[in-house]
Protein backbone atom coordinates (compact mmCIF):
# COMPACT_ATOMS: atom_id res chain seq x y z
CA UNK A 1 0.00 0.00 0.00
CA UNK A 2 1.45 3.03 -1.20
CA UNK A 3 0.15 6.03 0.62
CA UNK A 4 0.43 9.27 -1.15
CA UNK A 5 1.32 12.02 1.12
CA UNK A 6 0.02 15.44 0.29
CA UNK A 7 2.79 17.84 -0.51
CA UNK A 8 3.42 20.62 1.95
CA UNK A 9 3.51 24.00 0.46
CA UNK A 10 5.55 26.81 1.89
CA UNK A 11 4.56 30.51 1.82
CA UNK A 12 1.30 32.31 1.20
CA UNK A 13 -1.02 32.06 -1.72
CA UNK A 14 -1.81 35.07 -3.85
CA UNK A 15 -5.36 35.12 -2.46
CA UNK A 16 -4.11 35.35 1.12
CA UNK A 17 -1.78 38.22 0.26
CA UNK A 18 -4.56 40.15 -1.54
CA UNK A 19 -6.93 39.62 1.39
CA UNK A 20 -4.34 40.88 3.91
CA UNK A 21 -3.60 43.94 1.75
CA UNK A 22 -7.33 44.74 1.54
CA UNK A 23 -7.65 44.53 5.34
CA UNK A 24 -4.57 46.71 5.80
CA UNK A 25 -5.87 49.30 3.30
CA UNK A 26 -9.28 49.45 4.99
CA UNK A 27 -7.78 49.89 8.44
CA UNK A 28 -5.46 52.66 7.17
CA UNK A 29 -8.45 54.46 5.64
CA UNK A 30 -10.32 54.31 8.97
CA UNK A 31 -7.25 55.50 10.88
CA UNK A 32 -6.74 58.44 8.52
CA UNK A 33 -10.36 59.51 9.12
CA UNK A 34 -9.79 59.32 12.88
CA UNK A 35 -6.59 61.40 12.61
CA UNK A 36 -8.40 64.02 10.49
CA UNK A 37 -11.29 64.23 12.95
CA UNK A 38 -8.84 64.51 15.87
CA UNK A 39 -6.95 67.31 14.11
CA UNK A 40 -10.16 69.26 13.48
CA UNK A 41 -11.26 68.81 17.10
CA UNK A 42 -7.84 69.97 18.30
CA UNK A 43 -7.98 73.10 16.14
CA UNK A 44 -11.53 73.89 17.30
CA UNK A 45 -10.50 73.48 20.94
CA UNK A 46 -7.47 75.76 20.43
CA UNK A 47 -9.59 78.44 18.73
CA UNK A 48 -12.25 78.20 21.46
CA UNK A 49 -9.65 78.65 24.19
CA UNK A 50 -8.19 81.68 22.36
CA UNK A 51 -11.70 83.13 21.94
CA UNK A 52 -12.31 82.64 25.68
CA UNK A 53 -9.05 84.41 26.62
CA UNK A 54 -9.78 87.32 24.26
CA UNK A 55 -13.36 87.62 25.55
CA UNK A 56 -12.26 87.68 29.19
CA UNK A 57 -9.54 90.20 28.33
CA UNK A 58 -12.04 92.55 26.65
CA UNK A 59 -14.43 92.23 29.63
CA UNK A 60 -11.58 93.07 32.03
CA UNK A 61 -10.67 96.12 29.92
CA UNK A 62 -14.28 97.29 30.03
CA UNK A 63 -14.57 96.76 33.79
CA UNK A 64 -11.31 98.59 34.53
CA UNK A 65 -12.20 101.62 32.44
CA UNK A 66 -14.48 103.95 34.37
CA UNK A 67 -16.34 105.17 31.30
CA UNK A 68 -19.88 104.50 30.18
CA UNK A 69 -19.88 101.17 28.28
CA UNK A 70 -20.97 101.53 24.66
CA UNK A 71 -21.97 98.97 22.05
CA UNK A 72 -19.23 97.99 19.61
CA UNK A 73 -20.12 96.36 16.29
CA UNK A 74 -18.17 93.33 15.07
CA UNK A 75 -14.54 94.47 15.08
CA UNK A 76 -11.38 92.55 14.09
CA UNK A 77 -9.12 91.55 16.92
CA UNK A 78 -5.51 90.35 16.60
CA UNK A 79 -4.89 86.73 17.52
CA UNK A 80 -2.87 86.17 20.70
CA UNK A 81 -0.98 83.41 18.89
CA UNK A 82 1.49 84.85 16.40
CA UNK A 83 1.60 81.58 14.45
CA UNK A 84 -2.16 81.35 14.03
CA UNK A 85 -3.77 82.52 10.82
CA UNK A 86 -7.25 82.65 12.37
CA UNK A 87 -9.02 86.02 12.44
CA UNK A 88 -11.03 86.89 15.57
CA UNK A 89 -13.88 89.40 15.78
CA UNK A 90 -15.40 90.80 18.97
CA UNK A 91 -18.65 92.59 19.63
CA UNK A 92 -20.00 94.44 22.68
CA UNK A 93 -23.74 94.71 23.37
CA UNK A 94 -25.08 97.03 26.07
CA UNK A 95 -28.67 96.93 27.30
CA UNK A 96 -30.84 97.56 30.32
CA UNK A 97 -30.90 94.76 32.89
CA UNK A 98 -34.19 93.55 34.38
CA UNK A 99 -33.43 95.52 37.55
CA UNK A 100 -33.45 99.32 37.58
CA UNK A 101 -30.02 100.96 37.71
CA UNK A 102 -28.17 98.04 36.14
CA UNK A 103 -26.78 97.49 32.66
CA UNK A 104 -26.29 94.16 30.89
CA UNK A 105 -22.93 93.95 29.11
CA UNK A 106 -22.39 91.07 26.68
CA UNK A 107 -19.06 90.54 24.93
CA UNK A 108 -18.85 87.96 22.15
CA UNK A 109 -15.71 86.75 20.37
CA UNK A 110 -15.74 84.44 17.37
CA UNK A 111 -12.99 82.78 15.40
CA UNK A 112 -13.80 83.46 11.75
CA UNK A 113 -13.15 80.80 9.15
CA UNK A 114 -10.69 81.86 6.44
CA UNK A 115 -12.84 80.42 3.67
CA UNK A 116 -15.86 82.48 4.78
CA UNK A 117 -17.82 79.57 6.23
CA UNK A 118 -19.45 79.44 9.64
CA UNK A 119 -17.36 80.55 12.64
CA UNK A 120 -14.88 77.97 13.93
CA UNK A 121 -15.51 78.88 17.57
CA UNK A 122 -17.63 81.38 19.46
CA UNK A 123 -17.58 82.48 23.12
CA UNK A 124 -19.65 85.05 25.06
CA UNK A 125 -19.61 86.57 28.54
CA UNK A 126 -22.49 88.53 30.08
CA UNK A 127 -22.23 90.74 33.16
CA UNK A 128 -24.48 93.13 35.03
CA UNK A 129 -22.93 96.47 35.96
CA UNK A 130 -24.20 99.43 37.94
CA UNK A 131 -25.18 102.13 35.47
CA UNK A 132 -22.55 104.90 35.70
CA UNK A 133 -25.17 107.44 34.69
CA UNK A 134 -27.19 106.53 37.76
CA UNK A 135 -25.13 108.99 39.81
CA UNK A 136 -24.20 106.73 42.70
CA UNK A 137 -20.68 108.11 42.84
CA UNK A 138 -22.00 111.67 43.01
CA UNK A 139 -24.48 110.65 45.71
CA UNK A 140 -21.66 109.07 47.74
CA UNK A 141 -19.54 112.21 47.31
CA UNK A 142 -22.47 114.41 48.43
CA UNK A 143 -23.05 112.17 51.45
CA UNK A 144 -19.36 112.32 52.42
CA UNK A 145 -19.37 116.14 52.06
CA UNK A 146 -22.51 116.42 54.23
CA UNK A 147 -20.96 114.19 56.88
CA UNK A 148 -17.76 116.26 56.86
CA UNK A 149 -19.81 119.46 57.21
CA UNK A 150 -21.70 117.99 60.19
CA UNK A 151 -18.43 116.96 61.84
CA UNK A 152 -16.93 120.44 61.34
CA UNK A 153 -20.10 122.07 62.80
CA UNK A 154 -19.96 119.74 65.80
CA UNK A 155 -16.27 120.57 66.31
CA UNK A 156 -17.00 124.32 66.04
CA UNK A 157 -19.84 124.09 68.57
CA UNK A 158 -17.65 122.08 70.93
CA UNK A 159 -14.85 124.65 70.71
CA UNK A 160 -17.37 127.48 71.36
CA UNK A 161 -18.78 125.73 74.43
CA UNK A 162 -15.31 125.02 75.81
CA UNK A 163 -14.21 128.68 75.37
CA UNK A 164 -17.45 130.07 76.94
CA UNK A 165 -17.06 128.19 80.25
CA UNK A 166 -14.82 130.00 82.76
CA UNK A 167 -11.72 128.29 83.98
CA UNK A 168 -11.76 127.00 87.56
CA UNK A 169 -8.82 129.14 88.79
CA UNK A 170 -10.17 132.55 87.66
CA UNK A 171 -12.18 134.74 90.09
CA UNK A 172 -15.76 135.61 89.23
Residue 114's Cβ-count burial label (10 Å; 0-12, 13-18, 19+) is exposed
Q: Is residue 161 part of a domain?
A: no
The model's confidence at residue 98, banded by pLDDT at 50, 70 and 90, is: confident
Q: What is the pTM of this model?
A: 0.61
Q: Is residue 171 part of a domain?
A: no
Q: What's the CATH code of the domain at 114?
A: 3.30.1300.30
Structural domain harbouring 61: 16-148
Q: Is residue 153 part of a domain?
A: no
Q: Decide: 123 and 55 in contact? Cβ < 8 Å.
A: yes
Q: Is residue 116 part of a domain?
A: yes
For the chain, give the number of residues: 172
pLDDT in tens, 20-63: 999 999 999 999 999 999 998 998 899 999 999 999 999 999 88
Q: Is residue 55 part of a domain?
A: yes
Number of structural domains, the chain? 1
Q: Which residues pair with 121 in a beta bridge?
A: 111
The model's confidence at residue 5, banded by pLDDT at 50, 70 and 90, is: low
Q: Is residue 165 part of a domain?
A: no
Q: Is residue 11 part of a domain?
A: no
Amino acid sequence: MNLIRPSRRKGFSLLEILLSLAILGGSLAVLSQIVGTGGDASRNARELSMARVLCQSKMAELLVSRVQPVAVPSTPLPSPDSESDTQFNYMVEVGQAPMAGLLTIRISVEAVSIDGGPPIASYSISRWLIDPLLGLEQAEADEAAAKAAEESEAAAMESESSSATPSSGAPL
